Amino acid sequence: MEMPNSFGPMFENTSRTELSEIGEFGLIERLTARIQLQNSSSVKGAGDDAAVIDPQGLHQVVTTDMLVEGVHFDLAYVPLKHLGYKAIIVNLSDVYAMNAKPRQVTVSLALSSRFPVEAVEELYEGMLLACSKYEVDLVGGDTCSSRSGMIISVTAIGAAPREEIVYRSGAKEHDLLVVSGDLGGAYMGLQILEREKLVFKETGSQQDLEGNDYILERQLKPEARRDIVELLKQLEVLPTSMIDISDGLASEALHLAKSSGLGVRIFDEKIPIDPSTYNTARDFNLDPSTCALNGGEDHELLFTISQKDFDKVKGNPGLTVIGHMTDAASGCQLVDRQGGLHPLQAQGWNAFPKGA
Amino acid sequence: MEMPNSFGPMFENTSRTELSEIGEFGLIERLTARIQLQNSSSVKGAGDDAAVIDPQGLHQVVTTDMLVEGVHFDLAYVPLKHLGYKAIIVNLSDVYAMNAKPRQVTVSLALSSRFPVEAVEELYEGMLLACSKYEVDLVGGDTCSSRSGMIISVTAIGAAPREEIVYRSGAKEHDLLVVSGDLGGAYMGLQILEREKLVFKETGSQQDLEGNDYILERQLKPEARRDIVELLKQLEVLPTSMIDISDGLASEALHLAKSSGLGVRIFDEKIPIDPSTYNTARDFNLDPSTCALNGGEDHELLFTISQKDFDKVKGNPGLTVIGHMTDAASGCQLVDRQGGLHPLQAQGWNAFPKGA
């Protein structure tokens, strides 16, 4: 799946079949025709009142996310295939954050008549691409009409041995706080897309999006950190707590601290930021650290490990120790480059903006 | 929960707290504060990246349904508490249709700023009432804003021993076709509500909805047929195939026939119709049988049993044998009172009406 290098139509196929022509059952048949179940735990996929899963002796984890057009995505610059891919990924990321392996997803779609069958097929293509890559089965869902726009609701189900499931609440005082990958990129990608959308609106001229590949990919085609979950298993490190970074590092660190009844200290200078994220933030007159702390959608994993496991993760390029857990009384603090303490605040994405 | 006996405000609480005042996390805290997990299989509910379920050696079934304001429900006459109740019930009904026991649900909500916190709490109250009655845990979900109206996405998870799960595809030739309860009531309840909405719009006068209790309850506060699933277990009858009637008897019978590679014959005179459904249909100049065949949302169970089990279900007031399965070549037929054959056609609810 290529990154879009300019603003184009939100879907590629130029023919147009109305949803009302083929109806709900016709649409479901077309969408499910290409599904092939790949997990032996998926006993029965789409086509009955419910899907059937064989847990195979494992515990199950369940997570769900809703994406609303005009709130979570803008089809002016998000191709439908990418949207479908991302809708799956954000849910898989939550499953990995439990240290579990995703195995099934269900997808519900509400669509206005603006979308022809071909558009829905491209959305689905992106979903099935993510499913295929992460070895997950799309086992069911629901499709219906909406009065305006598109709403996507995905539920992901994963599995893990009971003793391997990692909660937000398990961190202990003095545990190290570790983050995978780098932060702020998805947010800066969004800023580029929003800026180019404005330019396009005002001048009609197509800005070339090239040269911002990394941060655009972070926004438009994020990946879930299966590799990190597998790496930790290989290193024989069981995190004491873990969370997926969807609302920004600050917000998620506060969740870990609160759930574990602790405080947390994050060192500003340790926060991993990619050079292209850094430079773009500077171009926008934004503080790169603030973007990393409060920009959402990075879908990296934030977790705590016992100090005794430090040697196992040390020097791993995909993992950065950015702080540690403290007692609750010490509060949640950001330590600046001069050693000054600043209360950590969640200024992440607000699901209910005023006047929305 | 009382049936509304007149058109009232869509929610009862008269105070108004804006969603933007308390934000997503504030809303989630308020909504989840009153949840108490009641299933030992619910290891972890809301408050982490995913809920955790212990399958306890059973297979899991998963089903999901999306309800869109203006498409599936009209808040002009559906109180939010009833809407919440129904949103859960329609999903539990799908779990029972697999002959499984529902144990967990997740709920995703998209809300425009038209809805204050108090409205969402009433919706949730109805959901929790259904959960409590059916011994199901609300273990997670998502809340976000929408540009217009309310969208509810519910996923239900149930459990059953592998060998007890009943599919649509298991019917055999000569099996008897059985339906629980009676049909067409939910559709006639909807007709009453739509008529009174028009009267209210045109004259401003409040029609009294009393006297139509049964069919209004079928529409506004449906139940899922847990009792039938339990009864069949008690009678030691394992259906060969089963489906939930949500789109109308005709549509669902066609699903059973198609999935099982068979034909089906339904006898018009056998279709169970409540007197109040019958009389209301006549008032509306509608054919009661057509309402039963094509009116949706009854959420009764349609299933097939082996002829050898006939004696076990015979005479049970909650169960009616309405036909039998034939070979595929005989097709799907409705047998009228004179013995004439009419091709069975699905004219149920269309999820994608033209021009929507």
Q: How confident is the model at residue A148 (pLDDT cuts 50, 70, 90)?
A: confident
| Residue in B24, B156, B162 closest to A351 by CB | B24
**pLDDT recorded at residue B356:** 40
**pLDDT recorded at residue B6:** 57
Pick among B49, B111, B151 to test the A interface (most A CBs inside 10 A):
B49
Q: CB distance from B56 to chain A under 8 Å?
A: no
Q: Which residues contact B106 (CB under 8 A, 6 or more apart)?
A: A62, A63, A64, A155, B51, B138, B139, B140, B141, B154, B155
- Please, are residues B106 and A157 in contact by the beta-carbon 8 Å criterion? no
Closest CA to A152 of A61, A80, A258: A80
Distances (CA, A) of B146 to A6, A146, A295, B44, B83: 28, 12, 21, 28, 18
**pLDDT recorded at residue B150:** 96
CA of B52 vs chain A CAs: smallest distance (Å): 4
**pLDDT recorded at residue A7:** 59
**pLDDT recorded at residue B14:** 75
**pLDDT recorded at residue A13:** 74
Q: What is the amino acid identity at position A112? A: S
Percent of chain A with pLDDT over 90: 81
pLDDT in tens, A30-76: 888 889 999 999 999 999 999 999 999 999 999 999 999 999 999 98
User: Mean pLDDT score of chain A, rounded to an integer?
Assistant: 93
Between residues 156 and 185 of chain A, which touch chain B (CB distance below 8 Å)? 156-158, 162, 165, 167-169
pLDDT mean over A321-332: 98
- Please, are residues B30 and B22 in contact by the beta-carbon 8 Å criterion? yes
Least CA distance to B168: which residue of chain A? A48
Sequence length of chain B is 356
Q: CB distance from B353 to chain A under 8 Å?
A: yes
Low-confidence ranges of chain B (pLDDT < 70): 3-11, 207-208, 348-356
**pLDDT recorded at residue A81:** 96
**pLDDT recorded at residue A356:** 40
CA Rg value for chain A: 21
Least CA distance to B148: which residue of chain A? A148
Centroid of chain to Cα B165: 19
Listing DSSP states for B285-336 in one string gives T--HHHHHHH------EEEEE-GGGHHHHTT-TTEEEEEEEE-GGG-EEEE-
pLDDT in tens, A249-292: 999 999 999 999 999 999 999 999 999 999 999 999 999 999 99
- Chain A residues with CB-CB distance to B108 below 8 A: 64-66, 153
CATH H-level, domain B168-343: superfamily: PurM-like C-terminal domain (3.90.650.10)
CATH H-level, domain B19-164: superfamily: PurM-like, N-terminal domain (3.30.1330.10)
CATH says A21-164 is which class? alpha beta
CA of A235 vs chain B CAs: smallest distance (Å): 23
**Domain extents in chain A:** 21-164, 168-343
pLDDT mean over A185-206: 89
pLDDT mean over A80-89: 97
**Higher pLDDT pick, A336 / A5:** A336
Phi then psi for A38, rounded to 5 degrees?
-120, -15
**pLDDT recorded at residue B299:** 97
Does A43 contact B64 at a Cβ distance shorter than 8 Å? Answer: no
